[in-house]
Structure 1
Amino acid sequence: MNRSPQPGLDHPIWTALTTRQAHLGQGNSLARRYHADVAPFAALSAETPAAYEALHQLLQPHETVALLLPAPVSPIDALQLTHLGDLHQMVATRYEAGHVDGSLDDRDVIALSHVDANDMLELVQKAKPGPFGTRTHEMGKYIGIREQGRLIAMAGERMCLDGYVEISAVCVDDEWRGRGLAGRLVSLLRSQIEQRGQTPFLHVISGNQSAIGLYERLGFEIRRTFLLARIGHADPASAAASNG
């Protein structure tokens, strides 16, 4: 499903890195990437050899970044690209029960900041919601729940572009799953984003049916699907063999 026209959402990484989050990345008019400790994402202005060459220049020899691609691409000189799977982009389109009547549950929910960074990293290492670095919390607002001082659940904002904010890092400690904490945090973030006049969106791997089901119940719908790819410098030996 593709709910165009929403050009920013069709290129969320590029749009974020050339507008509201330009200060969190580096690059030029052809290719840009987030700083490595912020997020492992990069984007191209267009699928051209020159843009891929510009991306090549932004990567260290043993470093990889992730791209969102509209379709498979052919082999690229000096770069190794691996397709990791399909990634659904979901956008908030309707209100879930409780959203309109103001009964959102914010009990024990706290704002997280740089002082919570170590605890946030510890939780994502356990729950594995997706990539999260030492400076990811700088991308937007993060909220969480603590139990006896320990961070047991959190969610936050990642990519930010005009009119849209991505919800990400939704995770709950294994011992506290099944209690509706993830849904509470997503609903609260959604409400706060919409109060600012913006629309929440998120990305989820196509095979994660439990997460997709949760987001659908919370009023999100699949807008389109990208190919998630990992890209880095080609191994010199492999490149020589393929060119031989």
Structure 2
Amino acid sequence: MHPILDNPAWHALTSGNQSLAHGEGPVRYFWNDVSPFAGLRTNSVDELRALHDMLPFSGVVAVVSPTELNWPGPWTVLGAVAVWQMVCTQPLKTFKAPVKVVALGAPDIPQMLALTKLTKPGPFEQNTLQFGYYEGVYHGDRLVAMAGQRMNPQPYAEISAVCTHPDFLGRGLATSLMRRQIHRIQLAREIPFLHVKADNARAIKVYTELGFVKRKEILIYFVEKR
């Protein structure tokens, strides 16, 4: 089931996120101020080498793979993170958010960057907001929780950047934001999915209670072009 999700970045860059895609042929990537992810048709050594040669910028790139990859010499491999890929196929029951949720836009970017830097939910860059559908919860003038959508390998939509400030954990903020994202995706007749570090038991528990099930454990490689 869900074979598209074995290579979500490639399918996102050639379908739902095509407007943000760069590259050609079997090699596609997001601009590095949007997302570090690149997508390759087969993740072959030749494609990995072509990605290195094609990128017009240096820095860190992320590649998703269900299996270990053989990286050609030009790349510096920084490491690989094991993550659970989880999918929600259950219809979401009706709900009412217990807190005020606001749409996040350009004026919120400094606080979004600060919150993601503190909580480390995954890569979040200056223009990641271009993926759309980011929402958050403020306490006074302080952003304390947020969630949004990232890769869109149709018919799937990834929920991403789910995070809560440590001072506001245990209040159901992430759950409320997740429910809103699930609702939005299902209304669009798409299927929610997400990635979570395999050792993040707290988050996995929340996602399981929301109806997500583990599809498989996959690898996210972080490599650098110097």
Task: Give the TM-score category using the shorter length.
Answer: over 0.9
1:34 aligns with 2:48: no
Whole-angstrom CA distance in 2 between matches of 1:38 and 1:61: 13
Q: 2:8 aligns with which of 12, 15, 32?
A: 12
**1:133 alignment partner, SS class:** coil
Deviates more, 1:120-129 or 1:69-78: 69-78
Matches within 5 A, 1:1-244: 4=1, 6-59=2-55, 62-95=58-91, 99-100=92-93, 102-105=94-97, 107-233=99-225
**1:221 alignment partner, SS class:** strand
Shift of 1:45: 1.1
Shift of 1:116: 1.6
Whole-angstrom CA distance in 2 between matches of 1:63 and 1:148: 36
Whole-angstrom CA distance in 2 between matches of 1:171 and 1:59: 30
What is the TM-score normalised by the length of structure 1?
A: 0.86
Distance 1:65 1:181, change over 3 A: same
Whole-angstrom CA distance in 1 between matches of 2:42 and 2:153: 18
Unpaired runs of 5+ residues, structure 1, are 235-244
Shift of 1:158: 0.6
Unpaired runs of 5+ residues, structure 2, are none
Distance 1:161 1:72, change over 3 A: closer
Preserved contact between residue 87 and residue 212 of structure 2 (Cα < 8 Å): yes
Preserved contact between residue 167 and residue 200 of structure 1 (Cα < 8 Å): yes
What is the TM-score normalised by the length of structure 2?
A: 0.92
Whole-angstrom CA distance in 2 between matches of 1:116 and 1:180: 22
Q: After the TM superposition, list the runs of 4 or more consecutive aligned residues in structure 1 that deviate by more than 3 angstroms.
A: 58-62
Shift of 1:186: 0.2
Shift of 1:75: 4.4
Whole-angstrom CA distance in 1 between matches of 2:108 and 2:140: 15
Distance 1:36 1:61, change over 3 A: closer
Q: Which amino acid aligns with 1:12?
A: P
Cα RMSD of the aligned pairs, angstroms, is 1.8
Q: Which amino acid aligns with 1:94?
A: Q
Residues 79-114 of structure 1: CA deviation (Å, up to 9, x unaligned): 23344231111001335xxx42x2332531111122
Residues 20-79 of structure 1: CA deviation (Å, up to 9, x unaligned): 212223111121111000011112111323212211113467512011112112342322
